Every structure is written in C-alpha cells, then in structure tokens.
C-alpha cells in the first residue's frame, strides 16, 4: 500500500500522543506554547495567506480572550454579579464572554474597514493592536501593567487540568481538531470561494460568491482562533499581564505565518514551532552577545524573514511538503465515498426569447466616454458578436452588463429584471456567466478546482457543513459537473494540473468550462479564441454552436473576423464607445460606416472579414 500524506499525519499525531507522557517537562511546556501560538498563526494563515487580508492586531484578540476569562474568574465585581454560579463553571463563562466580546469587536472593526480597499484593515488592526495594550494596562479592575494573578485552573467536573502535561493535551487536541475542520473547509465549495478572495474577488463575485461576507467570516474566524488561544493561555499560565498582547507579538505571529508558509495550515504550525524554538534560543544567546537592554529578537526575526522571503517566498512548509510529495501518493478524495446528489438545473427559455437588454448604456472614465448610449439585446438560442477596434469599449460594456462596473446612465435587464446597481453575484443568480479578456483564475489550484468554483451557486451547504464534512454528497455532484464541463471543453486531461501552468489559450477554455459549470442561460465571452490554435478555434466554434442549440444566449467579443462572421447570428459594431451598426453579419459587413471604421482603424481585420464572407 502506498503511503499518503494522510497516513503520515496520523503517524505523526500517534507518535506525539505516545511520547507525550515521556517527554521532559520543559519540552512539554515548549509544546504547549507552540500549540497556543499555532492557533493564532492558523488564523493568520486563513486571513492573510489564503484570504489576502493583513492583520497586525491578532495579539490584541488573544488578549481579549485572556482578559475576559481572567476578569470573570477573579474580579470581585464579576463574583458579585455571578453569585451562585459554581466556581468550576466560571472559566467556561469566561470563554463565552471572550467569544462574545471578540466577535463584537472584530465585527465592528471588520464592518468599518473590510469594505474599503487597500491597506485600511492593516492600519486599523495596527491602531487597535496598539490601543488595546494600553487599555489592558490602564482600565481599572484589570490589574494595570502588573496584571491579574490567581486565575483558576480549568476543570472538567472534578478533574482539574493543573499540570502542564494535562493542559497540553487539551491544547493539542483542540488545535488538531480545528486544523481538521479548517482543512475540510478549504477543501470544499466554500473553501474554493475563500481561496478566490486573494486577488480574484471580481471573478469570485461573478460566479456568485458574496465576497464581503466571506471576508468578514474569515476575519471573525481568525479573531476567534486568537481569542481561544488567549483563553487557554490565561488558564495555563494562571496569570495575565498586557505584555504578551502588544504589537510586537502581533508581528511575531505574522512572522510565524509567513516563515512557516502562509498559504498552508501546517505552515502556521511549522512557523509557530520554529519561531518559538528560535526565540527561546535567542533569549539565552542574545543578552549574552549584545547585553540585555533592548528587544533584539525582533531584529533577528526581521533578518530571518528577509532571508526566508528571498529563498522561499511561500514559506518553508511548501519546501518540506514538496520534498515529501515525491514519496507520497495523493490521498483518495473524500467525496468519492459519498453518493452524489442531483444538482438543480435551469429550464432554458424558448429560443428567441429576450434574456438580456441593455438600454442607452453610458460609461465614462474621467473625460473619456468608453460607452456612449449603447443599446443591445440578446436572445435565447443566439450568438451575438460584439466587435470593434481595440479601445472601442467592448470590455467596458461587458463589465457594465455583468454588474462588475456600474453605468453612469442607462439600464440593464436580465431575464426581465432591472438590475440597477446590483452586484455581479445577482447577475450570476439570474443565470449569467462570463469569461474575462485578462484571464482570472486561481493559478495555483487545479483546473478541476477552478471549474468547480463555477458551480458555486449550484451548491448550498455552508461553512459548518464543510468543516464537518457533511456536504460530501453535494461536493461529489459539483466535481462530477465540473468533470463533465472539462470533457466538453477538451480539458479532461488537464484536470489535475495547476491552472496557471496551462498555455494562455487553454486558460481561456478553463474560464469557459467554469462559466458552463454554473448552468448559465447567458454566456458572455470576452475574446475566448485569443491564443488558440486554428484546430482549437474550430472546436470552440463547434462547442458554441452546440451550446446555442441548447438555448443558451451567447454574447461574444472576438477579433478573429473569420471566426465571428461564420458563427454569429447578429453582429454589433462599436467604435469609440458608440454602436455604429447592428444586424446579421452580411448586412453589417456591407455597412459603409463599418467599412470606414475598419479601414480607418485596422485594414487587415476588415480584409479578413471580407474573406470570411466569400468563403
């Protein structure tokens, strides 16, 4: 039997469990700290490495978790308010309080900063991280900068977790369970949506993901992991003061994630282990070398980080995993054992029925009128081509009619509904799917995963179901659907390759397969044949004819006149943002304004078009 990474994980966990009673106390304590830090680093892996958001405030969330339980379990005020509650229950109330306060604070921070683009989240968490440190130090009742002591041990019934060895079991069992849940989450429909948050939000919205909600959830999850670590820390140390929750430590957590490998859950654990061990060594060595005034660790960490970024920009875990992968067989995907559900399918409208209507669309960029009062209709069962020289406004028009950009004036109706300023996912829900002129894919993920993402709206299970692997039936169906579309687009052999490794032309096909996986009624294709060889173009044309026959409405931007004129039922020509002609291909090609536009802009294109008609 060949070994998989899953076997390796089980063996490592068993080895740790068996060795646990025998490890020297100092090692146990070290392991406990690694586990506590790893919980926080795990949140940062999710937030930063996978979700593309940076937080400098994670240590402050750890502090919230720690101080909440410290206050509830020790303050006379809390004792008064909670008189009658058994003492053994207080730490659990402390956990509850920590979770509630953390959710509240993180939600407010997120609601204010997440909708803003750029570095607002990083700056806000920075400010929050700095200020909370002083709040902990100065708020009456929290023991000032000396802190709170006499925090009780955790107990389960009569059983007290007083020893470091017992407490470590709790830390590591929680850590491993959470890693399992997060691993499951990332390996699901919801996980694919999360992975698209980093650098692919427009694409994610266009397949139906509510990216604002997903970002908020990720931010809350990372904050909760930090607060949980803080709660454990408080009952492990039995003492808290503000120092471990200051900005320096937040930066150390970021180091952990980055050095370990912020794109991988295990990277968080590896980073936590490396930094903890290194810090411990440095604490012995540095004062000896440099005297004990000043915080030299951070300098050493900074240098270390530079070195890692230079040598292994994605962190150390991918190096380690890459080396191991040569000896490992890929694990059997867990959805294979679940029988697939039946995915819902749309009922296509009658051929000829109006499915998309754009009325007097005007869009300007500063002084430039990119779209000037453009009217366009698209019917079920037709291929409508949008042509025009570079810069004529075709891609801008696509963005406006798919909700990615909003028109200055004019309106779009999809399937009879006026869309106003609705987000792209509202268009996707009504059956619109699109590709992009500049390909938008998850380059590191497989072709299959990319196409599965297109079927996002055809699944319904949420984060919890994904974490608990309760959605495998649905996942199986989504994967089958993606495989069907890959087959259709001639990509079946590339399913397991990283999408970014394909030639550009085939990446466009991945986008088409992704669009089709959503079972659309309307398909918008922005230059789908660019980069394809002539045989592949023919195959694409065949596919589009076949799709048209099933009742799909297709709007296509394409420069290859031979391709377009042989395929399209109707052609609309844009020039300088204006629709100058619209009608059947032969009529449009004979239109004097079109001839002039093309002779003026690009003689060769029109010569192509003439040949195509002659052919």
How many residues in the shown chain lie near Mg ion by CB under 5 A? 3
395 binds ligand ADP (CB under 6 A): yes
Query: Considering beta carbons, is residue 61 or 436 the nearer one to ligand ADP?
Result: 436
SS3 360: strand
CB-CB neighbours of 134 under 10 Å: 12
Span from 111-119, 240-248, 305-313, 389-397 in contact with ligand ADP (CB under 6 A): 389-397
Of the pair 40, 441, the CB lying nearest Mg ion is at 441
- The span of 391-399, 449-457, 479-487, 515-523 binding ligand ADP (CB under 6 A) equals 391-399
Which stretch of DSSP H or E encloses residue 365? strand 354-365
- In the complex with Mg ion, the residue whose CB is nearer, 248 or 437, is 437
Longest dimension (CA), the chain: 93
Query: Of the two residues 172 and 397, which places its CB atom closer to ligand ADP in the complex?
Result: 397
* d(C-alpha 106, C-alpha 43), whole Å: 13
> Which 3 state secondary structure label does DSSP give 553?
strand
- Parallel/antiparallel/unpaired status of strands 417-418 and 409-414: antiparallel
Positive or negative, the Cα torsion across 285, 291, 295, 299? Answer: negative
Taking Cα atoms as reference points, which of 406, 385, 400, 390 lies closest to residue 572? 385
The one of Mg ion, ligand ADP, none whose footprint includes residue 392, by CB under 5 to 8 A per kind, is ligand ADP
Q: Give me the least distance between CB of 371 and Mg ion, in Å please.
A: 12
Dihedral sign for Cα atoms in the order 322, 324, 328, 331: negative
Binding to ligand ADP (CB under 6 A) within 338-367 occurs at 365
Residue (175 or 387) nearer to ligand ADP, CB = 387
Should residue 370 be labelled a site residue for ligand ADP when binding is judged by CB under 6 A? yes
Smallest Cα–Cα separation from 544: which of 488, 591, 479? 488
Q: In the complex with Mg ion, which residue's Cβ is closer, 262 or 395?
A: 395
- CA 415 to chain centroid, in Å, comes to 30
Instruction: Return the number of the residue (254 or 370) whose C-beta is nearest Mg ion.
Output: 370
Residue 118: CB minimum distance to ligand ADP, A? 16
Does residue 402 belong to the site contacting Mg ion (CB under 5 A)?
no
Q: Which parts of 401-512 are beta strand (E)?
A: 409-414, 417-418, 432-434
393 binds ligand ADP (CB under 6 A): yes
Binding residue (CB under 6 A) for ligand ADP from 77, 368, 504, 586:
368
Q: Any contact of residue 129 with ligand ADP (CB under 6 A)? A: no
Segment interacting with ligand ADP (CB under 6 A) among 34-42, 214-222, 229-237, 386-394: 386-394
Which residues have CB under 8 Å from 138's CB, separation 6+? 144
Cβ proximity to ligand ADP, 77 vs 368, nearer residue: 368
Whichever of 248 and 437 has its CB closer to ligand ADP, that residue is 437
Tokens 């509830």: give the residue: 72
Q: What does 78 bind: ligand ADP, Mg ion, none (CB cut-off 5 to 8 Å by kind)? A: none
Interface pick for ligand ADP out of 142, 182, 220, 392 (rule CB under 6 A): 392
396 binds, among Mg ion, ligand ADP, none (CB under 5 to 8 A by kind): ligand ADP
Closest distance to ligand ADP from the beta carbon of 511 (Å):
16
User: What is the arrangement of strands in the sheet containing 522-526, beginning at the earlier edge strand?
Assistant: 432-434, 522-526, 553-557, 383-387, 570-575, 578-583
Separation between Cα atoms, residue 259 and residue 281, nearest integer Å? 17
DSSP 87: G
Among 391, 410, 462, 610, binds ligand ADP (CB under 6 A): 391
Fill in the per-residue mask, 370 to 399: x = in contact with Mg ion (CB under 5 A), - = not in contact: ------------------------xx----
Nearer to ligand ADP, 331 or 368 (CB): 368
Q: Which residues contact 577 (CB under 8 A, 6 or more apart)?
A: 369, 370, 371, 372, 374, 392, 393, 396
- Shortest gap between Cβ of 390 and Mg ion (angstroms)? 7
The correct pick among 437, 500, 580, 595 for binding Mg ion (CB under 5 A) is 437
With tokens 């819902």, the residue in question is: 344
Residue 329 or 593 with smaller CB distance to ligand ADP:
593
Distance between CA 285 and CA 307 in Å, rounded? 20
How far is 280 from 284, CA to CA, in rounded Å? 7
For Mg ion, give the closer residue by CB, 394 or 548: 394
Q: Which of residues 496-515 bind ligand ADP (CB under 6 A)?
A: none
Give the distance, in angstroms, between the CA of residue 326 and the centroid of all CA atoms in the same chain: 28
Helix (H) / strand (E) element for 464: namely helix 463-467
Q: Are 419 and 427 in contact (CB under 8 A)?
A: yes
76: number of Cβ within 10 Å: 8
Q: Does 4 bind Mg ion (CB under 5 A)?
A: no
Find residue 573's DSSP bridge partners: 387, 581
Q: Least distance in Å: CB of 370 to ligand ADP?
A: 4
Can you give 494-552 as a three-state secondary structure string? HCCCEHHHCCHHHHHHHHHHHHHHCCCCEEEEECCCCCCCHHHHHHHHHHHHHHHHCCC
Kindly write down the DSSP assignment for every residue of 444-488, as one continuous string.
Answer: TSBHHHHHHHHTGGG----HHHHHTTTTHHHHHHHHHHHHHHHHH
Give me the least distance between CB of 127 and ligand ADP, in Å please.
31
Q: Which of 24, 390, 421, 438 binds ligand ADP (CB under 6 A)?
A: 390
* Least distance between Mg ion and beta carbon 556 (Å): 12
CA pair distance 59, 83, nearest whole angstrom: 31
Out of 43, 152, 388, 520, name the contact with ligand ADP by CB under 6 A.
Answer: 388
Q: Which of 211, 396, 402, 589 binds ligand ADP (CB under 6 A)?
A: 396
Quote the DSSP letter at residue 188. Answer: S
Task: Tell me how many residues contact ligand ADP (CB under 6 A).
Answer: 11
Picked from Mg ion, ligand ADP, none, the partner binding residue 365 (CB below 5 to 8 A depending on kind) is: ligand ADP
Q: Which helix (H) or strand (E) holds 372?
A: strand 368-379
Q: Is 48 in the site for ligand ADP (CB under 6 A)?
A: no
Binding partner of residue 244 among ligand ADP, Mg ion, none, CB under 5 to 8 Å per kind?
none
The site partner of 434 among ligand ADP, Mg ion, none (C-beta below 5 to 8 Å per kind) is none
**Interface segment toward Mg ion; rule CB under 5 A; list 84-92, 128-136, 432-440, 562-570:** 432-440
The residues that touch ligand ADP, with contacts defined as CB under 6 A, are 365, 368, 370, 388, 390-396
The residues that touch Mg ion, with contacts defined as CB under 5 A, are 394-395, 437
């Amino acid at each position: 039997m060949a070994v998989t990474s899953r076997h390796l994980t089980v063996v490592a966990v068993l080895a740790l469990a068996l060795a646990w009673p025998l490890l020297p106390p100092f090692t146990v304590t070290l392991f406990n700290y690694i586990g506590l830090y790893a919980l926080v680093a795990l949140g940062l892996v999710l937030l930063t490495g996978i979700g593309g958001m940076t937080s400098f405030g994670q240590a402050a969330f750890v502090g919230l978790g720690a101080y909440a339980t410290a206050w509830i379990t020790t303050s006379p005020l809390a004792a008064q308010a909670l008189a009658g509650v058994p003492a053994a229950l207080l730490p659990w109330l402390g956990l509850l309080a920590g979770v509630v306060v953390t959710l509240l604070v993180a939600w407010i921070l997120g609601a204010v900063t997440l909708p803003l683009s750029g570095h607002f989240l990083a700056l806000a968490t920075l400010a929050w991280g700095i200020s909370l440190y002083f709040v902990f130090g100065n708020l009456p009742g929290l023991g000032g900068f000396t802190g709170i002591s006499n925090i009780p041990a955790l107990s389960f019934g009569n059983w007290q977790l007083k020893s470091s060895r017992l407490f470590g079991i709790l830390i590591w069992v929680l850590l491993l369970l959470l890693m399992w849940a997060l691993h499951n989450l990332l390996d699901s429909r919801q996980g694919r949506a999360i992975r698209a948050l980093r650098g692919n939000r427009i694409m994610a919205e266009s397949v139906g993901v509510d990216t604002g909600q997903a970002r908020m959830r990720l931010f809350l999850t990372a904050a909760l992991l930090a607060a949980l670590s803080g709660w454990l820390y408080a009952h492990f140390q039995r003492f808290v003061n503000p120092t471990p929750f200051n900005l320096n430590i937040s930066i150390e957590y970021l180091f952990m994630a980055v050095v370990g490998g912020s794109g991988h859950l295990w990277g968080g654990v590896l980073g936590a282990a490396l930094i903890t061990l290194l810090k411990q060594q440095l604490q012995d060595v540095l004062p000896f070398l440099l005297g004990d005034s000043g915080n030299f660790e951070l300098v050493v960490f900074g240098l270390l980080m530079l070195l890692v970024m230079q040598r292994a920009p994605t962190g150390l875990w991918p190096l380690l995993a890459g080396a191991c992968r040569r000896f490992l067989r890929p694990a059997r995907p867990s959805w294979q054992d679940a029988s697939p559900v039946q995915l819902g399918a749309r009922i296509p409208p009658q051929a000829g029925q109006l499915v998309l209507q754009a009325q007097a669309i005007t869009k300007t960029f500063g002084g430039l009128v990119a779209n000037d009062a453009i009217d366009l209709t698209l019917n079920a069962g037709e291929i409508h081509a949008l042509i025009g020289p570079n810069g004529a406004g075709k891609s801008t028009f696509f963005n406006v009619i798919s909700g990615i950009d909003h028109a200055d004036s004019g309106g779009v109706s999809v399937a009879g509904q006026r869309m106003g300023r609705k987000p792209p996912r509202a268009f996707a829900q009504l059956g619109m799917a699109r590709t992009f002129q500049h390909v938008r894919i998850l380059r590191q993920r497989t072709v299959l995963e990319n196409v599965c993402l297109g079927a996002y709206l055809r699944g319904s299970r949420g984060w919890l179901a994904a974490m608990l692997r309760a959605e495998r039936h649905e996942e199986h169906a989504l994967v089958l659907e993606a495989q069907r579309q890959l087959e259709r687009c001639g990509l079946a052999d590339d399913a397991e390759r990283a999408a970014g490794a394909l030639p550009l032309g085939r990446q466009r096909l991945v986008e088409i397969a992704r669009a089709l996986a959503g079972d659309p009624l309307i398909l918008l294709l922005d230059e789908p044949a660019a980069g394809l060889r002539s045989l592949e173009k023919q195959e694409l044309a065949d596919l589009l004819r076949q799709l048209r026959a099933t009742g799909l409405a297709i709007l296509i931007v394409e420069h290859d006149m031979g391709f377009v004129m042989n395929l399209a039922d109707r052609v609309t020509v844009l020039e300088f943002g204006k629709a100058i002609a619209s009608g059947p291909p032969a009529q449009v090609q004979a239109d004097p304004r079109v001839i002039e536009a093309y002779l003026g802009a690009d003689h060769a294109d029109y010569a192509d078009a003439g040949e195509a008609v002659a052919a």
